[in-house]
Amino acid sequence: MRCKNCQKPLEKDAHFCNHCGAKIVINRITFKQLISEVFINVFGFDKKFFRTFKEMITQLQVVISDYLNGVRKRYMNSFAFLAVGAALSPIIFNYYADDFIKINSSINSEQKDETRENPT
């Protein structure tokens, strides 16, 4: 078998070309692989994002302590995590905006009625 990039002969069971360093791809790309590549290469996160998110919800102090003590391979980069969160926030807030306004106005109307009944 030859390297598809530089056409040099490859060793049997090689994962990378010895000449150009390209990864040896044997199987055709699937839709699942394509989506995975987009998330990893374009958005810059893989399962580390979800692991970091889960552990920040369940064990925030452990994540912070680990990260400050140098355990960084296990978690997503903190600035990239912040950027992803900042990008997702407007989408989530816009999706629930009507519910938020409805709840907020009902709470405010109850407080207004209460204030009118019991002025201090």
Q: What is the pTM of this model?
A: 0.45
In the predicted structure, residue 41 carries a pLDDT above the cut 70 = no
| Sequence letter at residue 20 | C
Q: At 43, is the pLDDT very low, low, confident or very high (cuts 50, 70, 90)?
A: low
- Among 18-32, 35-49, 56-70, 95-109, top mean pLDDT goes to 56-70
In the predicted structure, residue 9 carries a pLDDT above the cut 60 = yes
- Give the pLDDT of residue 40: 67
Instruction: Report d(CA 32, CA 14) in Å as an integer.
Output: 24
Instruction: Report d(CA 3, CA 15) in Å as an integer.
Output: 11
Average pLDDT value over all residues in the chain: 80
In the predicted structure, residue 59 carries a pLDDT above the cut 90 = yes
- Give the pLDDT of residue 61: 92
**Cβ(74)–Cβ(66) below 8 Å:** yes
- The two most distant CA atoms of the chain are separated, in Å, by 89
Q: What does DSSP assign to residue 2?
A: B
